[in-house]
Amino acid sequence: MRFYNQPHRYYCGGDLHARTLYLHVLDAQGATRFEKNLPANPSAFLDAVAPFRDGLVVGVECMFAWYWLADLCERESIPFVLGHALAMKAIHGGKTKTDRIDAAKLAGLLRGGVFPQAYVYPKAKRATRDLLRRRSSFVRQRAHLIAHIQNTNSQYNLPPFAKKLTYAGNRDGGILDRFEEDSTRKSVEADLNMIAAYDGQLQQLETHLIRHAKVDDAVTFQLLRTVPGIGPILGLTLLYEIDAIQRFPEVGHFLSYSRLVSCVHESAGKVRGVGGKKIGNAHLKWAFGEAASLMLRSFPAAKAWMQRQERKRSKVRAHAILEAKIGRAVYALWRKQQPFDPNRFLAS
């Protein structure tokens, strides 16, 4: 965990919501200089911090509404720090929790040098990353529709489908004829129509995203796809969720951010358990899990390595080790701007 510990004349903590922004400003000695609940708009914020602009730093928690404030501070040359929401124990563990108290605690953490930092994703690629995440949401909704058709088929104890409904060619005919009730057929027909609509929309989104990736960083996008198991979608996920590999000084930091390390809780020489599994990027954890599974299908040498690992430890543990190995390979090829080396990958 990184902490912001730069000295400033004024420290501004903001409890930011969709419509309101509670500000609390401390000076270097810890005295409160400003405290007020404001409407969440640029003019109100700039008017409030105007007397403290010389040497001011602003910190807010990483919630859904931080984009506009980060962009405003960048435009106005005001240092901005984004707080890691899961690491804000001083806020979430309090006996009493209000906007006023939260803003004061944020300012105090900034002043004390213990403000846990999250990554302020650059504005230039932020919209594309959000679109990629939106595509993932559509894919999950499409999967729910397919699962509903299969569950409806099982409800009436009908024979299982001969082919996977994931592919459009397998959904052409015969599905509706399975069901006797008009309402049931209408329900399944609605599912099929929605799935077809999602197919068209997803194709458009993927074309748009790949075109943007080739503009933003075509070289890295192609390097990522040299890893067996990483195709266009996983390559896009890695490209836009990582953004810049240079922000991870060591591979261990990258693996931790990707949720690829075990988080042991130890005290007095005794292991008390594990924790912190949700600290990190969930999209990267998913991407590396998928990449490991797909690598085992397309890379025979990796499958042989996996079989050897399974004899030594459990299948789940071996799969987790493979995910971490792929993470290390991605870190190395991105830093060095070199394609995937299968011999070196398996030799380690």
Kindly report the pTM of this predicted structure. 0.91
pLDDT in tens, 89-126: 777 777 888 999 999 999 999 999 999 999 999 999 99
Q: How confident is the model at residue 53 (pLDDT cuts 50, 70, 90)?
A: very high
Residues 300 and 336 in one domain: yes
- DSSP 8-state class, residue 96: S
How many folded domains does the chain comprise? Answer: 3
Residues 75 and 132 in one domain: no
Check whether 279 has a pLDDT greater than 80.
yes
pLDDT at position 348 is: 62
Segment 20-23 long-range contacts (CB within 8 Å, at least 24 positions apart): 20/99, 21/45, 21/69, 22/99, 22/100, 22/102, 22/103, 23/48, 23/49, 23/103
Check whether 256 has a pLDDT greater than 90.
yes
Residues 211 and 257 in one domain: no
Of 90, 116, 142, the position where a domain reaches its end is 116
pLDDT in tens, 159-183: 999 899 999 989 877 899 999 999 9
Residue ranges making up the domain that contains 238: 232-347
- Cα distances from 283 to residues 167, 233, 237, in angstroms, run 24, 12, 7
pLDDT in tens, 231-243: 999 999 999 999 9
Residues 238 and 340 in one domain: yes
- Examine residue 45 and state whether it is found in any structural domain, yes or no: yes
Residues 285 and 328 in one domain: yes
Q: To the nearest 10°, report the CA torsion of 182, 185, 190, 191.
A: 150
Query: What value does the mean pLDDT of the chain take?
Result: 94
Residues 99 and 182 in one domain: no
pLDDT in tens, 309-321: 999 999 999 999 9
Tell me what percent of the residues of the chain surpass a pLDDT of 90: 85
Measure the CA–CA gap between 36 and 27, rounded to whole angstroms. 16
- Examine residue 224 and state whether it is found in any structural domain, yes or no: no
